[in-house]
């Protein structure tokens, strides 16, 4: 079956702009989580969505937001981009309650100039 | 808050040899999951092996095995018969699942270099 699909793979934006990243989970996976990966901070949890509801949120400013649609696809949005937002954004899907590891997408590399 | 620590930034191993990566974690929970993920240059995180905290038996997946010491909060990964394709970043991760949702907490990663 198809894996987790993230689009776009690469993105270059200017400071102050906003950006929307998309994630399509594995069919049947209703939980979608987002992570930010940077050389300095490592992998940090952004938020998790399940059945269109945000269940968990990491320690990120309000400029970072997300949503999940009825087909479990998820988007995350970053407004008023800062240089420090440059990172690899990873999406992962899972079936809660099974204890299975998350399945990750290939990520979106965001560069803010 | 849970924390995961990987004390080895980089490890080097000769092809066909064995390497062990260290991971310690801090939690007050008794029921949780532990994972090792591999991230090659292609960036995609690939699940290598998982361990359920309530299981005493160490998990094994082909050439990969773990040494899970719950009391010591230690979760090391052993890669046997190392292959060139094993070269990657390896991340140890903790997951506690609950009604408030679940998330992975990652360690800082260990880069594994495989010498031919």
Question: What pLDDT shows up at residue A75?
Answer: 98
| Sheet of A5-7, strand order | A5-7, A19-24, A74-78, A64-68
- Minimal C-alpha gap between B2 and chain A (Å): 12
Q: In this model, does residue B100 exceed pLDDT 70?
A: no
Contacts with A41 (C-beta within 8 Å, 6 or more apart), sequence order:
none
Question: What pLDDT shows up at residue A56?
Answer: 87
Find chain B residues with C-beta within 8 A of A96's C-beta.
97, 102
- Terminal alpha carbon distance of chain A: 37
CB atoms within 10 A of CB B20: 15
pLDDT tens per residue across span B18-48: 999 999 999 988 889 999 999 998 888 999 9
With a cut of 70, which residues of chain A have pLDDT below it?
1, 99
Q: Tell me the two tokens of residue B45.
A: 């995180």
Candidates B43, B52, B101; nearest CB to A55: B101
Average pLDDT, chain B: 93
The share of chain B scoring above pLDDT 90, in percent, equals: 78
Contact between residue A68 and residue A85 where contact means Cβ atoms under 8 Å apart: no
In the predicted model, what is the mean pLDDT of residues B47-66? 93
Find chain B residues with C-beta within 8 A of A31's C-beta.
102
CB atoms within 10 A of CB A72: 21
């Amino acid at each position: 079956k198809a894996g987790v699909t993230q689009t776009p793979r690469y993105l270059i934006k200017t400071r102050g702009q906003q950006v929307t990243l998309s994630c399509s989970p594995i069919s049947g996976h209703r939980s979608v989580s987002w992570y930010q990966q940077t050389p300095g901070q490592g992998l940090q949890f952004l938020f998790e969505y399940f059945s269109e509801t945000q269940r968990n949120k990491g320690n990120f400013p309000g400029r970072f937001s997300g949503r999940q649609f009825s087909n479990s696809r998820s988007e995350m949005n970053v407004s008023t981009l800062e240089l420090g937002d440059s990172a690899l954004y990873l999406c992962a899907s899972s079936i809660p309650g099974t204890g299975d590891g998350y399945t990750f997408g290939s990520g979106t590399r965001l560069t803010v100039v | 808050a849970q924390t995961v620590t990987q004390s080895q930034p980089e490890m080097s191993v000769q092809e066909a040899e064995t390497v062990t990566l260290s991971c310690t974690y801090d939690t007050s929970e008794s029921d949780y999951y532990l994972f090792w993920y591999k991230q090659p240059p292609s960036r995609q995180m690939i699940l290598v092996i998982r361990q359920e905290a309530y299981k005493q038996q160490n998990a094994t997946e082909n050439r990969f095995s773990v040494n899970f010491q719950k009391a010591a909060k230690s979760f090391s990964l052993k890669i046997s018969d190392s292959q060139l394709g094993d070269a990657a970043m390896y991340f140890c991760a903790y997951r506690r699942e609950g009604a408030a949702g679940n998330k992975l907490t990652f360690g800082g990663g260990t880069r594994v270099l495989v010498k031919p």
